[in-house]
Chain A
Amino acid sequence: MKTFNGRVLFLDRPDINTDEIIPAKYLTEISREALKPFLLEDLKLDGFDPATDIEKNNVIITRSNFGCGSSREHAPWALEANGINLVIAESFARIFRQNMFNCGMMALELPGDTIGRLFSQYSAEPAFAEADPDTGTITLSNNTQTEQIPFSISTFDRELITAGGWLNYADTKY
């Protein structure tokens, strides 16, 4: 099973699409590791600089409809190549969300007002998050506070994470 913790990168915009996560011109790469330098290269967001903000962070917290657009699994791969196995958002596009769990990664949904509160309480200074699929809790902390936030995850998604993805799961079952 992968690990789901690290310093948090806050991306304060809804509808961040897969072209922004990994532009189409890099889809000619066959190795996943080759995608590493290009993650979020085309994302234009005030206060965000891919050159400095990706390396130190291993969790993303963002708004609604993250990962909309193309079906490219290169989006989760580019995240994984940068050590990001966990994205927490108000909602995800279907294919992106499925791709994450299919790769044994986690895309967790929290209510919009919780996400809003996390942005206002944690985004100003370094924050750390850890998600535990067994207990269904996210632990979020910074220098001054720590809290636990429950999340729900289906049995199927938990099994995908434990199996290390959908291919391993399907291969033993079907």
Chain B
Amino acid sequence: MGKTIAEKIFASHVVDKPSGDIHVIRLDGVFCHEITTPSAIVDLIERGKDRVFEPEKIKAVIDHVTPAKDSKTALQGKILREWSRRHKIRNFFDVGRNGVCHALFPEKGFVRPGYTIIMGDSHTCTYGAFGAFAAGVGTTDLEVGILKGVCAFKYPSTMRINITGVLPAGVFAKDVILSVIGRIGVNGATNQVIEFGGPVVEAMSMEARMTLCNMAIEAGATCGICEPDSTTVAYLWEFIADQYASESAALDAFSVHKPDADARYSSVLNHDVSSLVPMATYGYKPDEVKPVSEMDGTPVDQVYIGSCTNGRIEDLREAAKVLKGQNISDTVRAIVSPATPKVYATALEEGLIKIFTDAGCCVTNPTCGACLGMSNGVLAEGEVCASTTNRNFNGRMGKGGNVHLMSPATAAATAIAGHITAVRG
């Protein structure tokens, strides 16, 4: 019987099967940020187990609240910083070099096809874009990962979603994933891996694939996975050029991470996007999705463009295309948060930052900040935000606030109009 991508990765990483369908797998990466890791570090210290399994496989960043906004967040950063120094974790990214984890770590080449990665963050599923098995975990799993380099998972069944048809102009990966979640629901892929494939995914850039996989968790999935291909190789080439004779040799090597033709899936969904239109969420769950046109006119107080879902350079380019030469409405404030220093620098070089500031947007340093209502743009009670992030839970961006999820292009058009609207023309 053939195997799916996730099954192949499990087969090559299993170290124990303690009972039933539980697989304990070896980890290629344990990634850390300052919100969930400090409590793991403190607990390990209290237990007399302040050790790390392999400093090279651990990557750490301060990204959720940065620069620190108060002494509590400063302490979280301090604990992570001192721990990284103590254990010689070379890849620790402090303020100035830091960015949103799920944008920064792939950009640094830390995610490769066939890897197993955990992080104390639910959107770790983003890394599946590279053909990796990557899953968000809680603090205890993170502690065991740091200490032993292993993690236990139920053997994952895989749901295959083929994105078919042709993506219309002005419709993006964000619209695709919102429509998928709207179709299968917030619980539609719980305890499963979603393997994304089909012509639309094959034609997507790595950035778009990351947007797609980023929100797999919003359907309950353990991980979203794309097949590694020549796009994956081209993205990673600067990091792997010394390991392979040529890009095509790398492509050959990566082909072991493709699913078998006779792989068995728990279900196969064909999702045709040829007539897809820009989508947005309306309620407090990410599956409460409808066409932007049906929400046209909904007033908003704030527009937020950024996050691990849509804070990459392609996202800023799409937003800038819409905002170029325009002013945002007097009735809204707009915040643009490039996801990494490299994204920021590229946006500066390309003149995007000037387009944003000329339009009246506030451009912040790379950080999660407002996405989870912790800093840099928290909503007041009763306020509404049009946001390119991934979660519209009640209170997510501030107690009593309401979030509508959408693509960067739709968010930019909304900023200009002052109410929810799709890009015209």
Contact, CB under 8 Å: A156 / B152: yes
What's the least CB distance linking A68 to chain B, in Å? 6
Contact, CB under 8 Å: B187 / A91: yes
B16, B18, B154, B396: the one contacting A159 at CB < 8 Å is: B18
Is residue A12 within 8 Å, beta carbon to beta carbon, of the partner chain? Answer: no
Identify which of B18, B140, B147, B399 gathers the most chain A CB atoms within 10 Å of its CB.
Answer: B140
Nearest CB in chain A to that of B24: its residue: A174
Mark A10-29 against chain B: 1 for CB-CB distance below 8 A, else 0. Answer: 00001101011001110111
Is residue A165 within 8 Å, beta carbon to beta carbon, of the partner chain? Answer: yes
What's the least CB distance linking A129 to chain B, in Å? 24
Is residue B346 within 8 Å, beta carbon to beta carbon, of the partner chain? Answer: no
What's the least CB distance linking B52 to chain A, in Å? 14
Is residue B394 within 8 Å, beta carbon to beta carbon, of the partner chain? Answer: yes
How many chain A residues touch B (CB < 8 A): the figure is 43
In the bound complex, how far is the Cα of B185 from the Cα of A15, in angstroms? 11
In the bound complex, how far is the Cα of B142 from the Cα of A103, in angstroms? 12
Contact, CB under 8 Å: A19 / B393: yes
B19, B76, B141, B393: the one contacting A154 at CB < 8 Å is: B19
Is residue B168 within 8 Å, beta carbon to beta carbon, of the partner chain? Answer: no
Mark A47-78 against chain B: 1 for CB-CB distance below 8 A, else 0. Answer: 00000000000000000110011111100100
Given A20-B394, A64-B187, A69-B122, A173:B16 Cβ within 8 A: yes
Q: Which residues of B contact A23 (CB under 8 A)?
A: 373, 395, 399
Is residue B144 within 8 Å, beta carbon to beta carbon, of the partner chain? Answer: yes
What's the least CB distance linking A38 to chain B, in Å? 11
In the bound complex, how far is the Cα of B49 from the Cα of A120, in angstroms? 48
Q: Which residues of B contact A71 (CB under 8 A)?
A: 36, 120-122, 124, 136-138
Chain A interface residues toward B at CB < 8 A: 14-15, 17, 19-20, 23-25, 27-30, 32, 42, 44, 64-65, 68-73, 76, 91, 93-95, 98-99, 102-103, 154-156, 159, 165-167, 170-171, 173-174
Chain B interface residues toward A at CB < 8 A: 15-16, 18-20, 22, 24, 35-36, 38-39, 42-43, 47, 49, 65, 70, 72-73, 75-76, 79, 120-122, 124, 135-141, 143-144, 147-148, 150, 152, 154, 186-187, 190-191, 220, 222, 285, 372-374, 391, 393-396, 399
